[in-house]
Amino acid sequence: MAKLEENRIRISVRNLVEFLLRSGDIDNRRRGKKETEAMAAGARLHRKLQGRMGADYRAEVPLKLEYETEDIVISLEGRADGIFKEDEISVVDEIKGVYWDIEALKEPLEVHRAQAMCYACMVLENGMAGPDFVGLQLTYADLESEQIRRFKEVLPAEEVRAYVYHLLEEYAAWGRFLYHHRQRRNASVKELAFPFSYRPGQRELAVSAYRAMQQKRTLFIQAPTGIGKTMSVLFPAIKALGEGLDDKIFYLTAKTITRTVAEEAMEILRRKGLFASSITLTAKEKLCPMAEEGKRPECNPEACPYAKGHFDRVNEAVFDYIHQKETAGREEILRWAEQYRVCPHELSLDLSDWMDVVICDYNYVFDPNVQLRRYFGEGPGGEYLFLVDEAHNLVERAREMYSAALFKENFLKVRALVKPYSPKLERKLSRCNRLLLEMKRDSDGPVVRESIGNFVLALTGVFSEMEKFKEDYRVMDDNEDFGALYLDIRHFLNMYDRLDSSYCVYTEPIGRESFMLKLLCANPAENLSSCLRKGNSTVFFSATLLPVLYYKELLCGSTEEYAVYAPSPFDQSKRLLAVGRDVSSRYKRRNSREYGRILDYILAAAAGKKGNYLVYFPSYSYMDEVYQAAVKRELSDGPEFLLQSARMTEADREEFLSEFGRERDRSLVAFCVMGGVFSEGIDLQGEKLIGVLVVGTGLPQICTEREILRGWYEEQGKDGFAYAYRYPGMNRVLQAAGRVIRTDTDEGVILLLDDRFLYSEYQRLFPREWADYHVTNYENLPGILDDFWINRRK
């Protein structure tokens, strides 16, 4: 990645040549742990080879070359692996550690030779070589056998200079774009004003966000829906970008709908005069024109015409795009990829290098299997700013990203597949299976494991052999079982490398046949922080970050970071909040009488005023029981009912939500499950929704993992039940309740149906604006509703 400072563009030798000289096909069939480990293993072998070269060999020599054009200066920087004299000629040594057969090489790879040429030119221009000739030595080392193969040549100085300056002139076209774009963008940012009249509390949010960016700090913002959180953080971020505090903004989201909100906010700023580029990254599966339902895209030239020759064409595609367009979304990228016949996913990643704002899912920054290595891989990171939307979702998402599980039966399945081809791999798989079988036999249920070192040693052997098997055989290229176990093992080993006190290791029989070994990331803070340290500043924001200390501990690991709480800007008289004290969703209270009483509350709410209502239940089974109670009553003059189903497609969800826009003669009551697809991210304004009823406290179902988390937190001196159950549950409640009252003209009711909401440990988690709640029972509810709606009509 290049870095622009004033009119000076700094770029490393490696980045320059890999960018300009890339060519050929995309082919992911030979990628694996070896490729990701090559850099670390290569560094070790570098040092070893450098140490053998004698006293006259200078290792890791820092070099710099400046190339001036009319309006920019390109500063080419890097470290030569080695410089030495041979027959009075200075020789540049470029060492490459690889995991492939070096004897098959007929000549050095062009990109490697180009790196050596760049260092040779820098040696010449820095007076470290004679005026006429300079030598190149390309040293290839097999990282497994440590076998060495060298290619040597001596070249005229002018030939070297001509080659390198041609590369620099070619790159100057890109550099000039970057420079002039930055000049125009920064000028527009200076003139940019906040696009709306500030709502109460909104200016304070924007100021707090800007100060955090200025001080390179982390900030937590809790602000209710409707205050304008997106613009409150995006506007100061753009200001910080224009003032040189950051180079790039990553706007991170959990759901597609929030990405759309960020896109709309960027468009609003552009209409107000901002000149800045943005891209929305889409998952490969949704962007690939060759993708098949339920299958991973095959990224190789045999299966995909867009992969064949992709790197021959992609630079032209990117150069043309960034000179013509400010935004890049799914449809534009697909059209451009079709025009240039390149992979749309890889095109989108390359475009992101030249964009000011990258809007994407959490995965692209945090998930070790998906994150953008160009930004967050090995190396120091960059001048990045992270805006984390709906940050309450990141705790569970991160826990999932950094946990890993293996299942015994999958080893048996793959063992049978490879048996005809590799007895060695079969034996190694059998050993892992035996070790898992021993764990299974010494337990009747879930067991927390102190050590699994022997198993991991055997697993490492399996993975190494699977790597070799993939190289030697093509029979498993398309086998889903083999591919899935390979990826699961790779992830497991990578997560095992991170194992520390924030993890818990346990095994659990699942059903009669399955047996699981899991690395559970109980506290993802350190893993998340290692990613966030790649940037300058982070703003976490959400409508529900209570208690904020819980989120500080699990998202960044420090309770000392700044936090801002913004009160609701809306007129509280337009919202009725009531707690039903005579109902509960406790398991011991789940019976026909209780289901009937919940139905009574629902019917009373729907009768209070004709309109649309959402009811959130703790589970599908609970929802079905209440619905069946309604069916038995044969409510001919009651509301219409609409039910969420367990496996709704995107079209099903759109059809479900479209019902809220229909005219009808009686109330609509939609039954949903708390924490499901309709619990957050939907925006039903005005008359589309006038009431939300929340049944229960949202507690996650009791299960092995939750109980292990509970015990782990208790060992840390925390309230284990609160961390494992109450806090996540209350977040679901707050999100569900937040579906009503989304603008300053909305009116509606929120009913919390569980007597536990009156307990102090739950009331401490209420937002400040919930202080005016009513306590009711079913008999009193109609009167409370009548008073509210009558007052609203006045």
CA distance 727 to 721: 9
- Judge whether residue 500 has pLDDT over 60: yes
Strand positions, DSSP E, 286-425: 327-328, 357-361, 384-388, 404-407
Return the pLDDT at 25: 93
The separation between CA 122 and the C-alpha centre of its own chain, rounded to angstroms, equals: 39
Q: Tell me the fold of 404-521.
A: Fumarase C; Chain B, domain 1 (1.10.275)
Q: Which residues lie below 8 Å from residue 303, measured CB to CB, with a gap of 6+?
A: 290
Decide if 192-276+357-401+524-569 and 572-793 have a common fold. Answer: yes
- CATH code of 3-174, in short, is 3.90.320.10
Residue 255 scores a pLDDT above 50 = yes
Summarised one tens digit per residue, pLDDT across range 570-612 is: 889 999 999 999 999 999 999 999 999 999 999 999 999 999 9
Paired with 269 in beta bridges are none
Measure the CA–CA gap between 311 and 305, rounded to whole angstroms.
Answer: 12
Residue 461, CA distances (Å) to 8, 457, 558 in order: 49, 7, 38
- State residue 33's pLDDT score: 45
Domain residue ranges of the chain, discontinuous segments joined by +: 3-174, 192-276+357-401+524-569, 404-521, 572-793
Cβ atoms < 10 Å from Cβ of 684: 21
Using the predicted structure, report yes or no on whether residue 293 has a pLDDT greater than 70: no
Residue 32's pLDDT band (cuts 50, 70, 90)? very low
For the segment 699-752, what is each residue's pLDDT rounded down to a tens digit? 999 999 999 999 999 999 999 999 999 999 999 999 999 999 988 899 999 999
| Architecture of domain 192-276+357-401+524-569 in this structure | 3-Layer(aba) Sandwich (3.40)
The pLDDT value recorded for residue 666 is 94
**What is the band of 37 on the pLDDT scale with cuts at 50, 70, 90?**
low
Q: Which of 278, 346, 281, 272 is nearest to 314 (CA)?
A: 346
Which of 418, 416, 415 has the alpha carbon at shortest distance from 431?
415
Q: What are the tens digits of pLDDT across the range 337-367?
A: 999 999 999 999 999 999 999 999 999 999 9
- The full 3-state SS of 135-173, as one line of letters, equals EEEEEEEECCCCCEEEEEEEEEHHHHHHHHHHHHHHHHH
Quick one: CA dihedral 421, 427, 428, 431, positive or negative?
positive
Tell me what percent of the residues of the chain surpass a pLDDT of 90: 80
Instruction: Kindly tell me the sign of the dihedral angle through the C-alpha atoms of 353, 357, 361, 362.
Output: positive
Q: Does domain 572-793 have CATH number 3.40.50.300?
A: yes
Task: State whether residue 586 is helix, strand or coil.
Answer: coil
**Out of 47-61, 491-505, 557-571, which region has the weakest mean confidence (pLDDT)?**
47-61
Average confidence (pLDDT) over 6-29? 92
- Does residue 628 surpass a pLDDT of 90? yes
pLDDT digits (tens, 9 = 90+) for 183-234: 999 999 999 999 999 988 899 999 999 999 999 999 999 998 888 999 999 9
Q: Is the pLDDT of residue 490 over 70?
A: yes
